[in-house]
Amino acid sequence: MQLFLKKLLVSVFLLLPAMASAETFYVQSKEAKIYSEKSFKSDVIVTLERGTEIDVSERQGSWAQVMHDKSQGWIPSLLISEDKPVQKD
């Protein structure tokens, strides 16, 4: 039992930096697709609407690795921002 608890604590401490480094962003365009890879030719995992909150864990060039619900993939960085989009009337 003690060995299990030690392994659990080690796992938690190893995962904390990764979880803490995710930043909240919002979709700014009318819709934005999350791709399986950093390519417009890759599979689309999900399409998000404007204002959808996503977590960004990494940036590479013009792409951001994101997580939304249980979907993880890549989105063009130009389509997201740390600011909530202004609602249009």
Do residues 54 and 15 make contact, with C-beta atoms less than 8 angstroms apart? no
Q: Which fold has domain 22-81?
A: SH3 type barrels. (2.30.30)
| Segment 45-65, tens digit of pLDDT | 999 999 999 999 999 999 999
Q: Looking at the whole model, is its pTM more than 0.75? A: no
Q: Is the pLDDT of residue 13 over 90?
A: no
DSSP characters over the chain = -HHHHHHHHHHHHHHHHHHHT-EEEEE-SSEEEEESSSSTTSPEEEEEETT-EEEEEEEETTEEEEEETTEEEEEEGGGEESSPPPPP-
Mean pLDDT of the chain: 84
Chain centre to alpha carbon of residue 52: 11
